[in-house]
Amino acid sequence: MGRVYVNVFGTEDTVVVALCDEDLPGRVLKHGDLEVEVEPRFYVGENVTEDEALRELERVIEEYRHEKTVAVNALGENACRVVIRAGLAEHDDLGDIAGVPHVQVYLLPRE
Average pLDDT over the chain, rounded to an integer: 95
Q: Is the pLDDT of residue 87 over 90?
A: yes
> Tens digit of pLDDT for each residue in 43-57?
999 999 999 999 999
The H-or-E segment that residue 64 falls in is helix 50-64
Q: Tell me, which fold does domain 3-107 have in CATH?
A: 3.30.1860
- Give the predicted TM-score (pTM) of the model: 0.93
Confidence of residue 111 (pLDDT cuts 50, 70, 90): low
Provide the pLDDT for residue 110.
73
